[in-house]
């Protein structure tokens, strides 16, 4: 096992290998390999093999005509990756989705927080507003999320007993939006203009923004058609204009107290509302949409042995602590480790991008490389968090990996856009919901193993993340 400081300083300076091929053609070839011929992981591992380096130049989708410059320096190991978090050296302006940015017409004409660089005054203003907002709702986190989980598991139980299977993703999506909206606005989304389809309105809005970097995984015969349809021009926001208006009206009418508070922070009321919608719909709901299925997939597939250990730990701690409290959750070392392991093995936001603010030298395990001011740096996180020189058996799901001594490895867990040992602040770009996400994932396991001894799932991997079917839930026999 190696640390960045041991290796970083002693390695030779090399030229970054790889070229991006001919203009236009190189980008098209790379994107076809990436989406259709090789697939994401093979695309990157083939380039690592070819260049014998975890740092190289490549094109990243979408390319022509949506992004004017698809050329990036790719970082695919645990040592070089963290440069993406150093906002004194890299710029995060308009680069959330990669080498292109969706039209601001999706967000009321505003560049919302996630597209702002910390050097822009407004970033700290909005992020501080969000962090304060979440802190002020802290007391609601456990009881409210447990209520939402009760409804979720009741629904899954109904389906598994009636039909011997339950679609986890659909039930989890509705639950996730209910939770965030109840947390912030104190009412169910269905009691607003968005009605019972709020999560579907958000889905449409998300898909249109992210279409250029996605694929539906259709049969090969449709590949070229799909590529031309979603990667030639950006899809316009007017397609979802009326959906977005419903979302906007719902937040405007229900989040009055929050918008008052935003005005006290110095934000305009409508700008705060668009930012709130983006945080709830893109950051929070968009994240939870993939995070909870990933959790159920890995824990479900780990099998009965791990389930027994989790049930034992959770039930014992809840009994001795007298309930499900922040203190009790903190004592559940295996449960915490299992959540970190899911976040490590399948970080659900797999890409991070930034632009070099100055000439930089970055280090991989075996070489140092110079990056010029203005170059785009790209990290594929699943490779950084499965770096075999940092993690033993990196492709294996090891539930107790982060227990005791294993905690030292937490600095290499990066899912929240920063090392797990650091906190989100108004001055960095780390996920504002980081601590809430950790809490929700732990609570999901707690609720699961207070109710059930074990469960089984079928899981498939789509481009958008895990798709999970719950096949059985075996009621708890003790406690
Ligand atoms: C559930 C899973 C979630 C995941 C995997 C996730 C992941 C991330 C990541 C990777 C980023 C950084 C994106 C980038 O700049 O490259 C981010 C940013 C952000 N997240 Fe999360 N997030 C989740 C949930 C949440 C929740 C629940 C909230 C709030 C309620 C939230 C609020 C934010 C905000 C406001 C930002 C922008 C931070 C900034 O611009 O400084 N996220 N999230």
Average pLDDT score over residue span 172-183: 98
Look-up of token digits 């970055």: 362
| Ligand 1 atom closest to residue 278's alpha carbon, by position in its atom list | 35
pLDDT value for 479: 63
pLDDT above 70 covers a percentage of the chain that reads 98
Nearest CA to ligand 1 atom 40: 114
Model confidence at 6: pLDDT above 60: no
Nearest CA to ligand 1 atom 20: 431
- Residue 46 Cα to ligand 1 midpoint, Å, equals 30
pLDDT value for 320: 98
Select from 449, 454, 447, 451 the least CA-distant residue to 471: 454
| Ligand 1 atom closest to residue 417's alpha carbon, by position in its atom list | 10
pLDDT value for 162: 85
Look-up of token digits 């989980």: 149
Indicate the average pLDDT of the chain: 96
Average pLDDT score over residue span 241-264: 98
- Residue 430 Cα to ligand 1 midpoint, Å, equals 7
Q: How many CA atoms lie within 13 A of 338 on its CB side?
A: 30
Structure tokens at 195: 């009605």
pLDDT tens digits, residue range 343-352?
A: 999 999 999 9
Nearest CA to ligand 1 atom 17: 431
Pocket flag, ligand 1, residue 284 (CB < 6 Å): yes
| Ligand 1 atom closest to residue 183's alpha carbon, by position in its atom list | 30
Pocket flag, ligand 1, residue 437 (CB < 6 Å): yes
Ranges 50-59, 159-168, 431-440, 468-477: which has the least confidence: 159-168
Distance of CA 198 to the CA centre of its chain: 20
Q: Strands across the sheet with 452-462, in order?
A: 166-167, 465-475, 452-462
Average pLDDT score over residue span 370-386: 98
Domain borders along the chain are 102-347+385-475
- Residue 352 Cα to ligand 1 midpoint, Å, equals 12
Pocket flag, ligand 1, residue 432 (CB < 6 Å): yes
pLDDT value for 379: 98
Structure tokens at 464: 């958008």
Burial of 84 (0-12, 13-18, 19+ CB in 10 A): buried
- Residue 323 Cα to ligand 1 midpoint, Å, equals 29
β-sheet bridge partners, residue 167: 469
Average pLDDT score over residue span 237-261: 98
Pocket flag, ligand 1, residue 417 (CB < 6 Å): yes
Select from 264, 300, 297, 261 the least CA-distant residue to 456: 300
Domain 102-347+385-475 in CATH: superfamily? Cytochrome P450 (1.10.630.10)
Model confidence at 407: pLDDT above 60: yes
Model confidence at 47: pLDDT above 80: yes
Q: Are strands 351-356 and 71-75 parallel, antiparallel or unpaired?
A: unpaired
Nearest CA to ligand 1 atom 18: 431
- Residue 115 Cα to ligand 1 midpoint, Å, equals 12
Q: Are 99 and 369 in contact (CB under 8 A)?
A: no
Pocket flag, ligand 1, residue 352 (CB < 6 Å): yes
Model confidence at 2: pLDDT above 60: no
Q: Which of 432, 434, 439 to mutate to test the pocket of ligand 1 (most atoms within 8 A of CB)?
A: 432
Pocket flag, ligand 1, residue 73 (CB < 6 Å): no
Pocket flag, ligand 1, residue 287 (CB < 6 Å): yes
Model confidence at 127: pLDDT above 60: yes
First to last CA, the chain: 41
- Residue 315 Cα to ligand 1 midpoint, Å, equals 31
Q: Which of 94, 114, 283 to mutate to test the pocket of ligand 1 (most atoms within 8 A of CB)?
A: 283
Model confidence at 1: pLDDT above 90: no
Nearest CA to ligand 1 atom 41: 429
Model confidence at 8: pLDDT above 70: no
| pLDDT band, residue 385 (cuts 50/70/90) | very high
| Alpha carbon distance 438, 340 (integer Å) | 8
| Ligand 1 atom closest to residue 428's alpha carbon, by position in its atom list | 41
Pocket flag, ligand 1, residue 130 (CB < 6 Å): yes
Pocket flag, ligand 1, residue 176 (CB < 6 Å): no
- Residue 432 Cα to ligand 1 midpoint, Å, equals 6
Q: Which of 124, 433, 443, 466 to mutate to test the pocket of ligand 1 (most atoms within 8 A of CB)?
A: 433
| Alpha carbon distance 189, 151 (integer Å) | 15
Q: Are 165 and 467 in contact (CB under 8 A)?
A: no
Pocket flag, ligand 1, residue 416 (CB < 6 Å): yes
Model confidence at 85: pLDDT above 80: yes
pLDDT tens digits, residue range 139-152?
A: 999 999 999 999 99
Nearest CA to ligand 1 atom 6: 287
Q: Are 447 and 154 in contact (CB under 8 A)?
A: no
| pLDDT band, residue 163 (cuts 50/70/90) | confident
| Ligand 1 atom closest to residue 130's alpha carbon, by position in its atom list | 35
Pocket flag, ligand 1, residue 192 (CB < 6 Å): no
Secondary structure, 3-state, the chain:
CCCHHHHHCCCCEECCCCCCCCCCHHHHHHHHHHHHHCCHHHHHHHHHHHHCCCEEEEECCCCCCCCCCCEEEEECCCCCHHHHHCCCCEECCCCCCCCCCCCHHHHCCCCCHHHCCCCCHHHHHHHHHHHHHHHHCHHHHHHHHHHHHHHHHHHHHHHHHHHCCEEHHHHHHHHHHHHHHHHHHCCCHHHCCCHHHHHHHHHHHHHHHHHHHCCCCCCHHHHHHHHHHHHCCCCCHHHHHHHHHHHHHHHHHHCHHHHHHHHHCCCCHHHHHHHHHHHHHHHHHHHHHHHHHHHHHHHHHHCHHHHHHHHHHHHHHHHHHCCCCHHHHHHCHHHHHHHHHHHHHCCCCCEEEEEECCCEEEECCCCEEEECCCCEEEEEHHHHCCCCCCCCCCCCCCCCCCCHHHHHHHHHCCCCCCCCCCCCCCCCCCCCCHHHHHHHHHHHHHHHHHHEEEEEEEEEEECCEEEEEEEEEEECCCC
pLDDT value for 181: 98
pLDDT tens digits, residue range 419-442?
A: 999 999 999 999 999 999 999 999
pLDDT value for 464: 86
Pocket flag, ligand 1, residue 279 (CB < 6 Å): yes
**pTM score of the predicted model:** 0.97
Q: How many CA atoms lie within 13 A of 233 on its CB side?
A: 3
């Amino acid at each position: 096992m190696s640390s960045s400081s041991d290796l970083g300083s002693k390695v030779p300076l090399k030229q970054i290998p790889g070229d991006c091929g001919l203009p236009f053609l190189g980008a098209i070839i790379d994107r076809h390999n990436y989406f259709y011929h090789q697939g994401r992981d093979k695309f990157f591992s083939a380039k690592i093999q070819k260049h014998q380096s975890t740092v190289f130049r490549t094109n990243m989708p979408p390319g022509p005509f949506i992004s004017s410059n698809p050329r990036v320096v790719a970082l695919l190991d645990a040592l070089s990756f963290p440069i993406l978090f150093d906002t004194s050296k890299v710029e995060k302006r308009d680069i959330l989705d990669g080498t292109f940015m969706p039209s601001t017409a999706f967000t009321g004409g505003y560049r919302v927080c996630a597209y702002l660089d910390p050097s822009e005054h407004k970033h700290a203003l909005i992020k501080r507003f969000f962090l304060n907002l979440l802190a002020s709702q802290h007391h609601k986190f456990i009881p409210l999320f447990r209520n939402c989980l009760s409804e979720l598991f009741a629904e899954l139980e109904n389906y598994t007993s009636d039909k011997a299977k339950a679609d986890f993703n659909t039930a989890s999506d509705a639950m996730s939006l209910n939770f965030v909206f109840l947390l912030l606005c104190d009412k169910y989304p269905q009691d607003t203009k968005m009605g019972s389809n709020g999560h579907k309105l958000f889905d449409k809005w998300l898909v249109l923004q992210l279409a250029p970097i996605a694929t539906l995984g259709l049969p090969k015969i449709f590949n070229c058609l799909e590529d031309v349809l979603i990667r030639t021009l950006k899809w316009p926001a007017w397609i979802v204009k009326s959906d977005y208006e419903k979302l906007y009206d719902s937040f405007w009418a229900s989040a009055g107290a929050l918008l008052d508070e935003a005005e006290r922070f110095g934000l305009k009321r409508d700008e705060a509302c668009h930012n709130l919608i983006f945080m709830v719909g893109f950051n929070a709901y968009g994240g939870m949409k993939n995070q909870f299925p990933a959790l159920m997939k890995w824990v479900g597939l780990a099998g009965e042995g791990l389930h027994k250990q989790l049930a034992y730990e959770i039930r014992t701690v809840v009994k001795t602590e007298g309930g499900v409290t922040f203190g009790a959750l903190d004592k559940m070392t295996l449960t915490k480790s299992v959540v970190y392991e899911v976040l490590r093995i399948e970080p659900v936001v797999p890409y991070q991008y930034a632009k070099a603010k100055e000439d930089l030298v970055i280090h991989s395990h075996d070489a140092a490389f110079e990056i010029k001011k203005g170059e785009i740096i790209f990290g594929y996180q699943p490779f950084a968090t499965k770096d075999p020189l940092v993690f033993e058996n990196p492709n294996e799901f090891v539930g107790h990996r982060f227990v005791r001594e294993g905690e030292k490895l937490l600095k290499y867990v990066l899912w929240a856009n920063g090392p797990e040992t650091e906190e989100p602040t108004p001055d960095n770009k780390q996920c504002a919901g980081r601590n809430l996400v950790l809490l929700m994932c732990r609570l999901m396991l707690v609720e699961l193993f207070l109710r059930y001894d074990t469960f089984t799932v079928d899981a498939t991997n789509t481009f958008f993340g895990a798709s999970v079917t719950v096949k059985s839930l075996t009621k708890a026999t003790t406690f």
